Structure 1
Amino acid sequence: MDNSGMYVGLDIGTTSIKVIVAENVKGQMNVIGVGNERSNGVSRGVIVDIDKAAEAIQRAVRQAEEKASIEIHDVIVGIPANMLKIETCSGMIAIDDQSREITGRDVRNVAAAALIQSLPPEREVVDILPDEFVVDGFDGIKDPRGMVGVRLELHGTLFTGPKTIMHNTRKAVEQAGLHLRGTVINPLAQGMMVMNDGEQDFGTILIDLGGGQSTAAVIHDHQLKYIDVDQEGGQFITKDISVVLNTSLDSAEKLKRDYGYADSTQASDEDEFPVDVVGQSQPTPVSEKYLAEIIEARLDQIFKRLRTNLDKVQALELPGGIVLTGGVSALPGITELATDEFDATVRAYVPDQMGLRHPSFTLALALVNYFGGLSEIDLLIKSALTGSTQLADETDELRQREAAESAASTEMTQSESATRRPAKKRPKAKKKRSEGFKRFFSDFFD
């Protein structure tokens, strides 16, 4: 399948909203535009004010449009993992004509059958991922199209989440004048990008340290197996600095970014910087060590809670260790602190694209990479969520056209081969040549 084209990823974060415009050329995703605006109307990763969030999205999109020199209409949006549930699902349909090959519409229909679940009224299906197809008892099939059978089954993984999150996200995107091209669960997209094949296979923990919350996700056998969300993130560190040093939130955020260390053992007790204290006319000097101790105390609490829940599912025994990402992971000393807290191998992921070399851009970049790498089968399964049959019809028509062209090409080749074959007869010339050689050797020996 040719996935070439434009992809726009929209990361609706607690502290900032990021938009990335990328062009997929022969499997290579090239970033051509970026938008980054301060977030509004979002708390702990969830939209709580649709109007304010829509305005912030519009500002970020305009920024990306100016840099990419295009108009943005469709976006791929990340969905936070708050209260996300992971379940197995299965569906089965009968093929009406035993001699008919399985088509894209059949794949979409069996996915729709798998979506029939008795869910509480406050929850809805966020995504469905196929694990395997089964045709008349033969399992392990990744793409059943073109096969012949009487019974088609799908076994997959179903993700369900709060209806409020999904509704508010769709509403804010629509209110911003955009069309929702697709949704992707945040840790699923990030895990596929930041982990190599071996890490996804043997098992690795991804910890996204965002502004409003911290999310731990376990990926094993190339599947998202477990999610834990801690309702504290970078904003809480900023508030701690503000309260302890008696300074404004803006000043505290700047101090965290300019002088902050996650590991207090790496900070200097001698290096000091001025802090604007509320109610004082003159700045107060504060050491790097003291600031680092404030930051480390909050991170220590977050890591301890995450570890407690990860230990319950024995996730820290997986050989892949931990990968850190998200804006807070940019703090110096974060990997050393996490290594001590989790007693595991820890590395931090930073995107290597020019202009995006900061972990806060990981999610927006992961969204376009994930969606751009989806196969036709994945897209057909996703189309069952929206109820659309357009993609199934288009892929079926394309496959029929390709099959007809292939058959016509084969027939033409055989026809040309049959017409050329009779002209290949020269026995007389060969006979004359052999008789000439005989006479030559006869005369030579005489």
Structure 2
Amino acid sequence: MLSLPVAAAAAGDDVLVVDIGTADNARVEALKHGDGVRWWLELGDRLVVGGDREPMLSLAGKRDLLGELSAVAPGDLALRARGCAEHAGDAGTLIARGGRWELRRFAAGEAKPAFVTDAHGGWRAFTPNTVISRQYRLEGIAPAAADPTIQPIVDAIDTQRWFADVTTLASWDRSSYGTTSLTAARDWIGTQFAGLGLAVTKPTFSMPGTSGTITRSNVVGTWTGTDLPNEWVVVGGHYDSRNQTASSTTNTPGAEDNATGCAGVIEMARALVPNRPRRSVVFMCYAGEEQSLYGSKAHVAELQANGDLAKVRSVVIMDMIGYSANNVLNADYETYATHSAYMNKFAAAAATYVPALQVTLSTNPFGSDHMPYLGAGKPTVLAIESDYDVYPHYHKSTDLPANIGPNAQAMGGAILKTNVAVLADETGTTAQPAVTDRIFEDGFE
């Protein structure tokens, strides 16, 4: 059991941290509303309950108890977005983490950081009886059967090819403050799109540089839908990178962050485009993400300026999809509550096509290229592996393909297969029959 610091006697509640990773919905609800419980917070596979110790202990049981504290007032608590180490230090004491958020406790007299609710996450006030994120559970219901017109598209995802592209991208320094290597990576992405028959553009945008305004480019590969060309689905991920020095233009391989997501955009195009989607698909790789989502902001602004925003049916963004700390594959999917039905499609697709993938869902999004699209009101989901914040090479010059670890292809493949199953449905894509020179088995033509 995790040993958490116990405060000196003071007014407040006893607090338990309970593992609900294998709990069904009935048990989770019982833990939330059982005897002695005055408040709760759900964080993915963790449930934090506050109230009277003994009845809560009796309900939780020793097996699932991860830690306990005493004399905790809800006002002592705050939530911090995970992975925002550049924006906020380790203030307070960690109580629990899950679904891209941490619950932290502040001692009496310890100043809390300013609460922000912007696209970068930061800190948020604690609200009792809140689901920050939840595990996707199928209880007594078999996953939907695989669609025979979609399964071949899922099977077309080639994890070795994807990881080879990760390796290629990581061979360039892709800091948005740089030029030569960033341009080489940009042009290589465009070549991959062109090879699939996509219309390639490289729209420019302005962003702050280290000594004035600079111009950088997104890379766009567009498939025009066969039947519904004015209904668009956007598939995106940033191609820029950084290391521990935000302004560095060398030693920025960015394999996990975010060659994995950018290569994933290319791999999904390879699986979808040969099957001739009915709707248009905009495959995008952004620059300027690490500085403040400049590339995706520019695309949304362009959609608005051209009157094309209404054409966008849905968006999926991939950021850091390759690392798993062990062979248990976990992924976080997030959006705003108004788009939960769209997000739930990804969880259902995982259950059907990639049952080894454990999915956590959150309606508290932050911190990547999904945020500008959400701000514009479009159904948008971010896919990210769940261990990104414990990846030891995050934002370092050691973020190399070899350091993503032995589970990279399994982890990336699980997310890509889940996403392409949903995108096949979103874009009206069905597997095309294999091309053959034989017309009839008996040779009759």
Same fold (TM over 0.5): no
How high is the TM-score relative to the length of structure 1?
0.24
Between Structure 1 and Structure 2, the one with more helix by share is 1
TM-score (norm 2): 0.24
